[in-house]
Structure 1
Amino acid sequence: MKFSSRIESCSLSPIRKFHPYMMEAKAKGRTVYHLNIGQPDIETPKEFFDAVQNYQEKVLAYAPSPGVETYLEAARDYYLSLGYQVSCDDILATYGGSEALQILFSCILEEGDEVLVPEPYYPNYDTFIRVTGATIRPIPTEPEQGYRYATREQIEPRITSRTRAILVTNPGNPTGVVLTAQERRLLVDIAKEHNLFLISDEVYRELVYGGQTPSSMLEYQDAAEHVAIVDSVSKRFSATGSRVGVIVSRNRELMGHAMKIAQGRLCAATLDQVGAAALYRSMTPEYYAGLRAEYQHRRDAVVEELQKIPGVQFSHPEGAFYLMVTLPVDDAEKLQYFLLQEFEDHGETVMYAPGEGFYATPGKGRSEIRIAYVTAAEKLRRAVEVLGHGIQAYNAQNRS
């Protein structure tokens, strides 16, 4: 059978592809610590479940393609509370942040186009872009410079006649980089000067540490035609199974094209939007402050334990709940197979996301991993301790 060359150019997710090996390890009675996936263990606020349980309609009908009115209004009011002037017409409900990205790329990309993306990046960006016939043109970064990328010297030489957009994640997945006001302004200016879209994935907006203030590219009203925001309830409300997100843009032509796809796929899930609306309506500044404090505590636990492993290198994350780590091994993917298939420490092992899949540049990331610090601090400490023992055993085996 013949398959699409576009889908054949895509790879499996480095975050999820080791699932069968994890299941085999568990079948052998091992405890597997999960550092691989951004699935928080923080309880989803009960307001979501209350709203769904109290839904009184006798028919679970299609939602309007733009979104359920109460959800659009709740999302609008959330952005207004942050100081960003948007209307419900600027918001399109999507099936999570993933569909928001897919819709945007379908609207702006065609065969041979390029999107500038700082690497390392969220691997699913590559899949979403490749299936349009476009490709990622990476903006290289280095851990020694804290993975920072927002300079003219790093970006402008990579703009070509086929460049259509710059895609950023702020706060960053997988690096934890948080853009400064000056860096955000520069990205906006470059997008305007070169007539590019600036797509800003902001699903981790509230998770910034060290007293920083949550931000958005929506603040730049002079770039309204260039900016599109991707957002989701998954991370800020620990509701990853509720596949509800948004596209936010004041570009009316872009939103008009996005509506064609929204109508084609009919609607985002009605009940999930009802629950998501309740989350936005009920959460207070104290909720977000508590969330930040908990993730900062978890980050600090991981950092403290990583510092005990000889030869490990990493940049201190400023936001989100991930960090990239360079390990003293020849190949982080081979190490992952070893940890799941051969290694245990008192019946325990660990799972992470190997770093090579977070890069477009061949050969980069081979000794790197992404850690998601989304479980309780004591579990994270033990997971990193097990990782350290696993590295020691792996290297010893390779030397023998």
Structure 2
Amino acid sequence: MPVVSRRSQTVPLSPFRKLIPLADRARAKGKHIYHLNIGQPDIKTHPQAVARFRELPWEILDYSPSNGIDSYREALCGYYARFGVQLTADEIMVTTGGSEAILFFMLACLDPGDEIIIPEPFYANYNGYAHIAGVTVIPVTSDISDGFSIPNAEAFAEKITPRTRAIVITNPNNPTGACYSREEMELLSAIVREHDLFLCVDEVYREFSYDAPLQSVLQLEELHEHAIVIDSVSKRYSATGARVGALVCRNRSVRESVDRFAKLRLSPPGLGQRLSEVMLEDDGPYLQEVKEEYQRRRDIVYDRLRQMPGVFLSKPGGAFYCFARFPIADSEDFCRWLLEDFEYEGATVMLSPGPGFYATPGLGMDECRIAYVLNTGELAKSMDCLEAALSAYPGNTLTPAEADGAPAGASRFS
């Protein structure tokens, strides 16, 4: 019998989705599940744009240009101009979601065996894309105690080898919710210029920066030849199914390399681009309302978690995730137990275990990511459920005295 590839057997599993079979069985038994495990917003896709999109005239759903519909890329130039970033349409490559943009970056800028440095914890699917591209992920560990800020220059210097080609970050960060300051971005700028590296920044959560304006890498003029931005409409407009992203880069050789791969896959989604172009029109009130809603959700989750005995977290500055340390020894077991063995008022919660967001073995064992993508009422109920679960979990590591003591929560911004 023919044998499948070793690549397919060794590609890392998504930590967001590998617990789905357990969730399906729990749901089949009638248990309600509060899904805090994946970044699927429950906010309506830009309603006014959807209404206008339904009225668009078209008779043939044809191929778009491989780099995206011209008018959409021109409209994106206007979008970036809002942040003081001046681009031409040629500097924007439309992709099939942010996922394809990440893969195009790796295929165009790195060869098999090359290395990328990523502060951990990081978006777990970077591991999978690196595996497909034959690229090695080299982690540099950030710490929950200082809000997962960018590690110092020495930490990066220790990781740089002759095979290092890029540093990759997500800003605002998934899974931690950290927003990197201008000082942190300038630290990375100095490193990539000194070692002649690319700096790839995943900015798909750009609109959701709550406590300070986002510092985009595109705003740093000295990085015009080094910077590559990954973008997407998925979270911005609650349009994950549109599958429209972008790779933004001023470096001509990078764009030409990416274009070769883009032509091979023919074109990004046509309907998704048309919807995305319409969503860019008069989107200010919609985006402001969505941002305010996520900030309310953040505050509910943060305030509740920091009151739970033994739970420690930093206040997320952006995105819609928080990454918390719990009084447990094995977050994989805890997340499994929640689905298989626990129930509170007919419900349970589904979280993402911490280890899947690290490349260093053994890290994240007492941590979980929470996506605050439910409405405020459901979030409050989910926190009740989670608090009851931590009290009932057989693997809770708190002593009785600690369990009766003061909350262990902390904030980077308090």
TM-score, normalised with respect to structure 2: 0.93
Aligned twin of 1:39: 40
> Structure 1 CA distance, aligned partners of 2:396 and 2:176?
30
CA contact (8 A) 2:329 2:396 kept: no
**Residue-by-residue CA offset, 1:75-129 (whole Å, 9 max, x unaligned):** 1110112211100000000001010001110111222211000000000001001
Aligned twin of 1:171: 172
- The residue identity in structure 1 corresponding to 2:148 is Y
> Structure 1 CA distance, aligned partners of 2:378 and 2:341?
21
Aligned twin of 1:116: 117
> Structure 2 CA distance, aligned partners of 1:176 and 1:358?
13
Q: Which runs of 5+ in 1 are unaligned?
A: none
CA contact (8 A) 2:123 2:175 kept: yes
> Structure 1 CA distance, aligned partners of 2:396 and 2:214?
46
- Return closer, same or farther for 1:397/1:227 CA change in 2, 3 Å cut-off: closer
Aligned twin of 1:374: 373
1:7-18 to structure 2, matched below 5 A, reads 7-18=8-19
> Structure 2 CA distance, aligned partners of 1:47 and 1:32?
31
Helix, strand or coil at the partner of 1:260: helix
Aligned twin of 1:213: 213
Aligned twin of 2:333: 334
> Structure 2 CA distance, aligned partners of 1:351 and 1:389?
14
Aligned twin of 1:49: 50
Helix, strand or coil at the partner of 1:158: coil
CA contact (8 A) 1:93 1:268 kept: yes
- Return closer, same or farther for 1:75/1:135 CA change in 2, 3 Å cut-off: same
Aligned twin of 1:267: 267
> Structure 2 CA distance, aligned partners of 1:397 and 1:81?
48
CA contact (8 A) 2:185 2:215 kept: no
- The residue identity in structure 2 corresponding to 1:90 is E
**Structure 1 residue 190, shift from structure 2 partner:** 1.2
Helix, strand or coil at the partner of 1:309: coil
**Structure 1 residue 150, shift from structure 2 partner:** 4.5
Helix, strand or coil at the partner of 1:241: helix
Aligned twin of 1:133: 134
> Structure 2 CA distance, aligned partners of 1:268 and 1:226?
25
Aligned twin of 1:343: 342
> Structure 1 CA distance, aligned partners of 2:12 and 2:377?
34
CA contact (8 A) 1:330 1:366 kept: yes
CA contact (8 A) 1:139 1:149 kept: no
**Structure 1 residue 259, shift from structure 2 partner:** 0.6
**Structure 1 residue 4, shift from structure 2 partner:** 3.4
> Structure 2 CA distance, aligned partners of 1:133 and 1:3?
18
- The residue identity in structure 2 corresponding to 1:88 is A
**Structure 1 residue 250, shift from structure 2 partner:** 0.5
**Structure 1 residue 305, shift from structure 2 partner:** 1.3
Aligned twin of 2:255: 255
1:55-94 to structure 2, matched below 5 A, reads 55-94=56-95
Helix, strand or coil at the partner of 2:44: coil
Helix, strand or coil at the partner of 2:390: helix
> Structure 2 CA distance, aligned partners of 1:89 and 1:51?
27
Q: Which moved more, 1:159-168 or 1:185-194?
A: 185-194
> Structure 2 CA distance, aligned partners of 1:5 and 1:27?
34
**Structure 1 residue 10, shift from structure 2 partner:** 2.1
> Structure 2 CA distance, aligned partners of 1:140 and 1:359?
8
Aligned twin of 1:227: 227
Q: Which moved more, 1:378-387 or 1:242-251?
A: 378-387
Q: How many positions carry a matched residue from both structures?
A: 397
Aligned twin of 1:276: 276
**Residue-by-residue CA offset, 1:198-225 (whole Å, 9 max, x unaligned):** 0000001111112x11331111222111
- The residue identity in structure 2 corresponding to 1:304 is D
1:97-108 to structure 2, matched below 5 A, reads 97-108=98-109
> Structure 2 CA distance, aligned partners of 1:138 and 1:5?
24
**Structure 1 residue 184, shift from structure 2 partner:** 1.0
**Structure 1 residue 269, shift from structure 2 partner:** 0.7
Aligned twin of 1:198: 199
> Structure 1 CA distance, aligned partners of 2:210 and 2:396?
39
**Structure 1 residue 151, shift from structure 2 partner:** 2.4
TM-score, normalised with respect to structure 1: 0.96
CA contact (8 A) 1:47 1:278 kept: no
Helix, strand or coil at the partner of 1:293: helix
Helix, strand or coil at the partner of 1:323: strand
CA contact (8 A) 1:51 1:274 kept: no
> Structure 2 CA distance, aligned partners of 1:307 and 1:180?
24
> Structure 2 CA distance, aligned partners of 1:266 and 1:356?
37
- The residue identity in structure 1 corresponding to 2:322 is L
Aligned twin of 1:238: 238
Q: Which consecutive aligned stretches of 4+ in structure 1 deviate over 6 angstroms post-superposition?
A: 396-399
> Structure 2 CA distance, aligned partners of 1:240 and 1:162?
35
CA contact (8 A) 2:306 2:313 kept: no
**Structure 1 residue 257, shift from structure 2 partner:** 0.7
> Structure 1 CA distance, aligned partners of 2:387 and 2:293?
24
> Structure 2 CA distance, aligned partners of 1:368 and 1:4?
33
**Structure 1 residue 303, shift from structure 2 partner:** 1.1
> Structure 2 CA distance, aligned partners of 1:47 and 1:222?
39
> Structure 2 CA distance, aligned partners of 1:177 and 1:316?
8
**Structure 1 residue 313, shift from structure 2 partner:** 1.1
Helix, strand or coil at the partner of 1:370: strand
Q: Which moved more, 1:49-58 or 1:190-199?
A: 49-58
**Residue-by-residue CA offset, 1:122-162 (whole Å, 9 max, x unaligned):** 00001001111111100111111211125212212211111
- The residue identity in structure 2 corresponding to 1:275 is L
**Structure 1 residue 398, shift from structure 2 partner:** 9.9
- Return closer, same or farther for 1:24/1:250 CA change in 2, 3 Å cut-off: same
> Structure 1 CA distance, aligned partners of 2:3 and 2:107?
23
